[in-house]
Amino acid sequence: MRLPVRAAAVAASAMALGGLATPALAAHSHASATSVKVVAVEFKFTLTPSAVSTPGPVTFTLVNKGHVAHDFKIAGKTTALIQPGKSTKLTVTLKAGKYPYLCTVPGHAAAGMKGTLTVK
């Protein structure tokens, strides 16, 4: 008898807390990182999705499908230089706006490994 009552009280207070916490959580629910896959080849990047719809943390997964090493730089951060067939991740926090990105290997951006990511 006592246990169910206590369980109900705990559940009720948990619900009350949940009710209070929900608006704050909802406001930040999009803080869970957006994922963008970045495929690198010679000499271009393909981003999927090609734009980000929610400001906040964005985790870029760089996949090198080319034949030479590449990296990916955006918003002042750069991934490790990765070899063909390898991948790496980079998380940056982005506000709404436009963010140029590029490969920092000399000559690669000029050859086409660059673009602009829009965060709406």
Please identify which residue in 62, 63, 74, 113 interacts with Cu ion, judged by CB under 5 A: 113
Pairing of strands 77-78, 87-94: unpaired
Strand pairing partners for 49? Answer: none
Judged by CB, which is closer to Cu ion: 36, or 108? 108
Q: C-beta of 60: minimal distance to Cu ion in Å?
A: 14
Please identify which residue in 52, 70, 90, 119 interacts with Cu ion, judged by CB under 5 A: 70
SS in 3 state form for the chain? CHHHHHHHHHHHHHHHHHHHHHHHHHHHHHHCCEEEEEEEECCEEEEECCEECCCEEEEEEEEECCCCCECCEECCEECCCECCCCEEEEEEEECCEEEEEECCCCCHHHHCCEEEEEEC
Please identify which residue in 79, 94, 108, 117 interacts with Cu ion, judged by CB under 5 A: 108
Please identify which residue in 44, 88, 105, 112 interacts with Cu ion, judged by CB under 5 A: 105
- Under the binding rule (CB under 5 A), the answer on residue 63 touching Cu ion is no
Judged by CB, which is closer to Cu ion: 63, or 103? 103
Q: C-beta of 43: minimal distance to Cu ion in Å?
A: 7
Please identify which residue in 52, 103, 117, 119 interacts with Cu ion, judged by CB under 5 A: 103
At 89, list the tokens. 């991740």
Q: C-beta of 114: minimal distance to Cu ion in Å?
A: 10
